[in-house]
Amino acid sequence: MISFQNITKIYNPHTIALDNVSFKVDKTEFVSIVGRSGAGKTTLLKLLLAEEGPTKGRVFFEGQDVQKIRGEKIPLLRRKIGAIFQDYKLLPSKTAYENVAYILEVMGVSDEEINKEVSQVMEIVGLRNQVDHFPQQLSGGERQRVAIARALIHRPDVLLADEPTGNLDPYHTRDIINVLLKINEMGTTVILATHNKEIVNSLSRRVITLEDGKVIRDEEKGRFFL
């Protein structure tokens, strides 16, 4: 489904973000990409989203070379890949419902269909009773669940989670990880980028470890040893 083939990403002669990285991710997998800050985790996700291009190597998604996707086809790629981030990126002037519905409005979906879809994803993330709350009225964990709902609203094949629990306490961290596991069990491929050892070591899922831009371990039921 996803293939990174001999990927090198150089920002300048003194900054090599990725160094000859290769691995594949199969459909419905839950993969943690781990490493210290600056190890190259976020760069990998940006390459998959076609936000950046590799210096060397190729990235494939569903058989397509991502770097050959151009113009109007890039939004089509990103509809298949949902993404959530550490800082939520919610619109403060919109309610939780409106933040999630906004994506479908831009796509021209009918109000009836929007209401149906938003209700379903808010149920999945456990926020059925908070749809009318604004971001400032929600806890950090609830804001992140709104962000997850927004990433799911267009039914992506893959969900990228870039340090999604970085701003959360242990209780809300576990809550978000449980939501990601639930989404994965429903058939969505999940790629989690994190430096949280406790999360990774509790999952018993595949772990790819990056250090200085290189893959130093790729284990089916791995642990975070750095």
Structure tokens at 21: 């990285």
pLDDT on residue 225? 82
Axis crossing angle, helix 140-152 with helix 111-124, rounded to the nearest 10: 130
In one-letter notation, the amino acid at residue 38 is: G
| Residue 71, number of CB atoms within 10 A of its CB | 6
Structure tokens at 170: 């242990």
Contact partners, residue 7, CB within 8 Å, separation at least 6: 18, 20, 21, 22, 44, 47, 54, 56, 57, 58, 59
DSSP conformational letter for 67? G
Structure tokens at 3: 């293939």
Give the CA distances from residue 60 to residues 7, 10, 57, in Å, rounded to whole numbers and listed in that order: 11, 19, 10
Does this model's pTM top 0.85? My answer is: yes
CB 59 within 8 A of CB 67: yes
Contact partners, residue 212, CB within 8 Å, separation at least 6: 16, 19, 39
Structure tokens at 71: 């113009």
- Which pLDDT tens digits describe the chain residue by residue (226 residues)? 999 999 999 998 889 999 999 999 999 999 999 998 888 999 999 999 999 999 999 999 999 999 999 888 998 899 999 999 988 999 999 999 999 999 899 889 999 999 999 999 999 999 999 999 999 999 999 999 999 999 999 999 999 999 999 889 999 999 999 999 999 999 999 999 999 999 999 999 999 999 999 999 999 999 888 6
d(CA 161, CA 158) in angstroms, rounded, equals 10
pLDDT on residue 25? 98
Helix (H) or strand (E) holding 204: none
